[in-house]
Homo-oligomer: A and B are copies of this chain.
Amino acid sequence: MTDRQDLLDTLAQVGKALGNGHRLALLERLAQGEAAVETLATTADLTVGNASAHLQHLRRGGLVTANRSGKQMIYHLTDQRIVTLLSLMRDVAETNLAEMERLVSRLFAEDNSDGALEAISQDELLSGLRRGSVTLLDVRPEDEFEAGHLPDAINIPLEQLEAMLDELPKDREIVAYCRGPYCVLSHEAVQRLRALGYQVRRFDEGFPEWKAAGLPVH
Contact = CB atoms under 8 A, between A and B. Distances in A.
A12 B16 CA distance: 9
A1 interface: yes
Nearest to A91: B81
Main SS at interface, chain A: helix
B3 A107 contact: yes
Interface in A104-157: 104, 106-107, 109
Contacts of A16: 15-16, 19-20
B4 A90 contact: no
Interface residues of A, number: 53
Contact of A63 (B19, B23, B92): B92
Contact of A19 (B12, B24, B91, B109): B12
A57 to B, nearest CB: 11
Given A4-B107, A5-B45, A15-B20, 18 more contacts: A3-B103, A5-B25, A7-B103, A7-B182, A8-B21, A8-B182, A10-B100, A11-B24, A11-B89, A11-B90, A14-B89, A19-B19, A65-B96, A78-B96, A79-B92, A79-B95, A85-B89, A88-B88
